[in-house]
């Protein structure tokens, strides 16, 4: 990454600024209102037997959950590579973890409540209409257990990791924050020991959690993408499908990170060195790089299927490039790849806030259309003259957006908004040469 970010304000000064910064009640109420409206609309749709409510819920669950989970995974990657550039700002992405418990509830609703409304293969299991391999894969008990175990493992590791990160900061700061989390903060402080030992023991634990999370994240999201997106067209299969799904979430989590950096910089005017143009540039470069990578994955999947020209594969893209689905497919490609890729080629576009926010919003909308195009054509096929896009899709999107924002605001009000410990501890750079957390002796290089 460009340059070094070694900003280290006095701890007391940093804590005093963090204590005075709270999220506006207007923002929190607006987010909660949007969440109540959207989820109320979904409940109304379910109660009246409207199938579109279920489909819109699935699209938006997949869209927001991949973003939240990928954001936390990016935080863990900072530990794997022992990054220093992101110490002052990575908490802005850790806040995405607050949405994951709600996402877990959403998955249970989809898996157990929406099974016969969403999955066209559900009633075919055991009838002999599926090939033996898919009979095994789609067996109801196996489907339930896969979904619960895959997401449960991702959720447990990501919440655990963020908890360890928060514990360091809560342990060295006086009590402050939203009252609902007072008990959690008290638990974090209980047993908090000597600062240097806590640094190394936490650093060691986070290293193990981060590597485990990377493995579980990649495999778990492949399974979830196969089951809750690709399986809606149960004749289609692609080994690249899962990668494309979770890397889309990864890309947009970075785009949101770029927006959040700018928003939080306005909140921390007293700490002008906390978020700098170097951060803007570094995150902008990551956004550009993963825009290119998402485009590579998407085009590679398309190219191999087009070149192979097998009917069981080509029908997937033929449907999405003809008739009612052409517009949404092209919007997904143009907004997620074409506009951000060419727009972010220059340095100025990455650091100039209006252009970076514009391209981030394009990517955000583009990925939503990508999720829509993955799911809706598989359900409707060629039966519609125009893509169903109305109050159900947009209203439930608003509900998920509100829930995502509200949970994020609650998290950021409850815990320190920056990594106080790693920015102010006199031992902070010892993690570049880790110590044994028991003996406090430097570890050999190979460990």
Dihedral of the alpha carbons of 5, 278, 90, 167, in degrees to the nearest 10: 20
Phi, psi (deg, nearest 5) at residue 214? -60, -45
- Taking alpha carbons only, the member of 22, 76, 12 closest to residue 412 is 22
Q: How far apart are CA 139 and CA 122, in angstroms?
A: 9
pTM reported for the whole predicted model: 0.95
Q: How far apart are CA 53 and CA 228, in angstroms?
A: 16
Query: In this structure, how many other beta carbons lie within 10 angstroms of the beta carbon of residue 116?
Result: 10
Q: Provide the residue count of the chain.
A: 447
For residue 95, the number of C-alpha atoms closer than 13 Å in the C-beta half-sphere is 27
In the numeric block, the tokens 């950096």 are attached to 261
CA distance 351 to 354: 9
Q: Distance between CA 7 and CA 420 in Å, rounded?
A: 11
CA 81 to CA 68: how far, in whole Å?
A: 21
Residues 90 and 75: beta-carbon distance below 8 Å: yes
Provide the token pair at 306: 């087009």
Q: Rounded distance, CA 301 to CA 239, Å?
A: 9
Angle between helices 353-380 and 277-308 (to 10 degrees): 30
List the one residue out of 395, 419, 409, 438 whose CA is nearest residue 99.
409
> Which phi and psi angles does 377 have, rounded to 5°?
-60, -35
| Whole-angstrom distance, CA of residue 369 vs CA of residue 297 | 17
Return the pLDDT at 340: 97
b/e string for 314-339 if b means 16 or more Cβ within 10 A?
eebbebbeebbbeebbebbbebbbeb
Q: What is the dihedral of CA 220, 79, 163, 191, to 10 degrees?
A: 140
What is the rounded distance in angstroms from the CA atom of residue 244 to the CA atom of residue 238? 10
What's the longest Cα–Cα distance across the chain? 70
| Nearest 10 degrees: Cα torsion 11, 282, 413, 358 | 150
What span, in angstroms and rounded, lies between the C-alpha atoms of 17 and 268? 8
Q: What is the mean pLDDT of each run of 10 residues along the chain (447 residues)?
A: 67 91 94 98 96 96 98 96 92 97 97 93 91 92 95 98 97 94 95 91 94 97 96 91 95 98 93 93 97 95 91 92 94 97 96 97 97 95 90 97 98 95 90 74 64
Q: State whether the Cα torsion 271-272-278-283 is positive or negative.
A: positive
CB-CB neighbours of 409 under 10 Å: 23
């Amino acid at each position: 990454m460009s340059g070094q970010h070694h900003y280290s304000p006095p701890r007391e000064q940093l804590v005093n600024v963090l204590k005075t910064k709270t999220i506006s009640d207007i923002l929190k109420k607006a987010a909660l209102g949007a969440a109540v409206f959207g989820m109320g609309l979904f409940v109304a749709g379910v109660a009246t037997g409207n199938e579109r409510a279920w489909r819109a819920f699935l699209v938006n669950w997949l869209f927001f959950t991949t973003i939240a989970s990928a954001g936390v995974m990016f935080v863990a990657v900072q530990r794997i590579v022992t990054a220093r550039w992101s110490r002052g700002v990575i908490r802005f992405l850790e806040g995405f973890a607050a949405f994951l418990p709600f996402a877990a509830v959403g998955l249970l609703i989809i898996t157990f409540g929406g099974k016969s409304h969403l999955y066209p293969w559900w009633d075919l299991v055991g009838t002999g209409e599926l090939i033996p391999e898919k009979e095994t894969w789609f067996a109801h008990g196996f489907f339930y257990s896969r979904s619960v175990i895959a997401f449960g493992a991702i959720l447990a590791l990501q919440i655990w990791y963020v908890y360890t990160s928060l514990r360091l900061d809560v342990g060295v700061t006086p009590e402050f924050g939203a009252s609902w989390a007072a008990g959690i903060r008290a638990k974090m402080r209980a047993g908090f020991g000597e600062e240097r030992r806590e640094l190394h023991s936490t650093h060691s634990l986070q290293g193990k959690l981060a590597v485990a999370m990377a493995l579980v994240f990649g495999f778990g999201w492949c399974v979830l993408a196969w089951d809750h997106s690709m399986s809606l067209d149960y004749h289609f299969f692609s080994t690249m499908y899962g990668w494309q799904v979770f890397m889309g979430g990864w890309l947009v989590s970075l785009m949101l990170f770029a927006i959040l950096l700018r928003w939080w910089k306005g909140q921390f005017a007293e700490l002008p060195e906390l978020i700098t143009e170097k951060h803007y540039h570094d995150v902008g470069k990551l956004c550009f790089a993963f825009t290119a990578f998402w485009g590579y994955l998407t085009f590679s999947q398309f190219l191999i299927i087009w070149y192979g020209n097998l009917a069981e594969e080509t029908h997937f893209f033929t449907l999405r490039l003809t008739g009612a689905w052409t517009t949404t497919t092209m919007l997904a490609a143009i907004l997620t790849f074409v506009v951000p890729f060419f727009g972010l080629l220059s340095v100025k576009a990455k650091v100039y806030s209006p252009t970076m926010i514009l391209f981030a919003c394009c990517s955000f909308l583009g990925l939503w259309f990508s999720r829509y195009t993955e799911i809706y054509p598989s359900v409707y096929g060629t039966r519609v003259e125009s893509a169903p896009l109305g109050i159900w899709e947009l209203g439930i999107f608003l509900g998920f957006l509100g829930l995502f924002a509200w949970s994020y605001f609650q998290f950021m009000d409850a815990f320190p908004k920056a990594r106080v410990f790693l920015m102010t501890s006199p031992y902070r750079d010892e993690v570049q040469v880790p110590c044994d957390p028991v003996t406090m002796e430097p570890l050999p290089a190979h460990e």
